[in-house]
Amino acid sequence: MANNITVWNLSEYSSNTALRDDRMMLTYSELEEFCSVFKSKVGERCLIFILGAQCVECAAGYIASINNGIVPLVVDEKMDRELFDKLVATYSPKYFWIPKNLNLHEYETVFSYNQYILVKTGNEGPAINDDLALLLTTSGSTGSNKLVRLSYKNIISNTNSICSYLEIKSDDRAILVLPLHYTYGLSVLNTHILKGGEVVFTEKRFYTADFWQYAKEIGVTSFAGVPYHYETLYKTNMITRIWDAVETFTCAGGKLDKKLVQQYAEQAENNHRRFFVMYGQTEATARISYLPYNLATQKAGSVGIGIPGMRIELVNDNDELITQPNKEGNIICYGENIFMGYATAVNDLSEASGSQRLETHDRGYFDEDGYLYLCGRNDRYVKIYGSRVSLDELEDILKQEYKTNEIICCKKDERIVIIIYGVLCSENDIKKYLGEKTGFPHSTFEVKNVVDIPRLSNGKINYVALMEHINSN
């Protein structure tokens, strides 16, 4: 498929602005020209590692790779060098597309474009399956060799579906605070470039007045964030500034507190704006479901219905289909956006696609109207005294009781650790309250106060680093 596929028809929107950051802008005509030069420098279908920064050069390199049949692995530009070298040793890429300021002098630079350089590694490169388009690290990855393999069909299917329900058009302009190595961030880029829209990068902080004033001045129409972004906007009182600047808001990448969903949904409606809650995974190329914005208040807490072309089912632990409403089960998805499978070694890059069935390892239920509600990850369920306990449900109970979002629950050996940050809560009160709610002895619970929560670059909680910090103290 790689020899005859074009994901984006750049010439269709030649005079439109495609990419912009604080230093430069690229029209679609200029982007198309860059893609041609990039192809001539790389010369053939091969594997390239892209270190993802929030800038025009990085986005242009990604677009040029996909549209020219070059397979990129997009990783965090701040990835630890030892972990980066481990990926290089495992997968033997032929090129890097990286910021100039990185200290990789041992490799040959073959092309320079503003603040990025194309570097030749000296590797011959691996054999690659014809359908393989893109590689991404698994969500929350902390240096594992495990990669998600995405095909051209995956990207095209998911991109078209998102464009359909968000109604993205050529005059749309997205401001992107999500990193490009994160599938949600890439989906914003993919969709807007498909429709001839514009993607904006800026070093301005999303929780400042300067950011939203800038968004208003340049005519930004959409903002995509994870729960952390919306929680921060609420805490910094920026929620009162955003409606005047942007028309469409999307939230995915985790569970936003139901009360906050209601607040955002109500204010969006009052200001004639759109607020979408969505659900997705890297293995689904980005998006699985969405809640129509006109139901965001009525169905607050739901992640909605399957995107166009996606079928969502629930099965029990025996893999039997659940058809009753309000009955919890394992979430299974089917569609053309379901990934090709994982790669853990270089030979996996030449393997064919797997099935179009995805076991999400999330649990949820449908209401009477067929709208999906998430209950948590399977790995966020723990066995305590023989009982199955959802850490996400415990968090929700505590957040409602103490009227704060600053509480996280984790498992440590045979106990549950309650991590509190930014607020004062009595340790004894929390243990007593949870004891009453769960029936477990107070000794089941350990309460820790922290001054900050480590996060991944996509805004999600870094549970590994958090527990390392707790254990070291």
pLDDT tops 60 at residue 132? yes
Whether 365 has a pLDDT exceeding 90, the answer reads: yes
pLDDT at 141: 44
pLDDT of 268 above 50: yes
> Hunting for tokens 């939203």 — which residue is that?
212
* SS3 letters across 288-333: CEEECHHHCCCCCCEEEEECCCCEEEEECCCCCECCCCCCCEEEEE
Least confident segment among 43-47, 80-84, 146-150, 278-282: 80-84
What pLDDT was estimated at residue 387? 63
Measuring CA to CA, how many Å separate 322 from each of 81, 306, 311, 315? 46, 17, 14, 5
The band of 140, judged by pLDDT with boundaries at 50, 70 and 90, is: very low
Q: Tell me what pLDDT residue 383 has.
A: 64
Contacts of 97 (CB under 8 A, 6+ apart): 48, 49, 50, 51, 58, 61, 65, 72, 116, 117, 118, 119
Q: Is residue 139 scored above 70 in pLDDT?
A: no
pLDDT at 166: 98
**Residue range 248-276: mean pLDDT, rounded:** 94
Percent of the chain with pLDDT over 70: 97
Measured distance CA(35)–CA(56) in Å, rounded: 13
What is the full DSSP assignment across 336-389?
TTS--EEESSGGGGG-----SEEEEEEEEEE-TTS-EEEEEEGGGEEEETTEEE
- Say what the pLDDT of residue 68 is: 96
Question: Is residue 325 within 8 Å of residue 367, measured between CB atoms?
Answer: yes
Q: How confident is the model at residue 8 (pLDDT cuts 50, 70, 90)?
A: very high
Mean pLDDT of the region 372-395: 78
Average pLDDT, the chain: 91
Q: What is the pLDDT of residue 6?
A: 87
Q: How confident is the model at residue 218 (pLDDT cuts 50, 70, 90)?
A: very high
pLDDT of 142 higher than 70: no
Percent of the chain with pLDDT over 90: 68
Place of tokens 């997205």: 174
What is the Cα–Cα distance from 172 to 194, expressed in whole angstroms?
11
User: By mean pLDDT, which of 166-180, 266-280, 401-415 is the weakest?
Assistant: 401-415
* Band of residue 216 on the pLDDT scale cut at 50, 70, 90: very high
Parallel, antiparallel, or unpaired: how do β-strands 147-151 and 132-137 relate? Answer: antiparallel
Reported confidence tier of residue 41, pLDDT bands at 50, 70, 90:
very high
Six-digit token string for 50: 């892209």
User: What pLDDT does 2 receive?
Assistant: 59
- The one-letter code for the residue type at 459 is G
Q: In this predicted structure, which of 91-100, 279-288, 426-435 has the lowest mean pLDDT?
A: 426-435
Predicted local distance difference test score (pLDDT) of residue 143: 54
Give residue 100's pLDDT.
92
pTM for this model (two decimals): 0.85
**What CA–CA distance (Å, rounded) separates 103 from 99?**
9
> Residue 7: CB partners within 8 Å, gap ≥ 6?
66, 67, 133, 152, 155, 156, 159, 190, 194
pLDDT band at 443 (very low <50, low <70, confident <90, very high): confident
The least confident of 66-70, 293-297, 417-421 is 417-421
Better-predicted residue by pLDDT, 92 or 392: 92
Residue 441 pLDDT class (50, 70, 90 cuts): confident
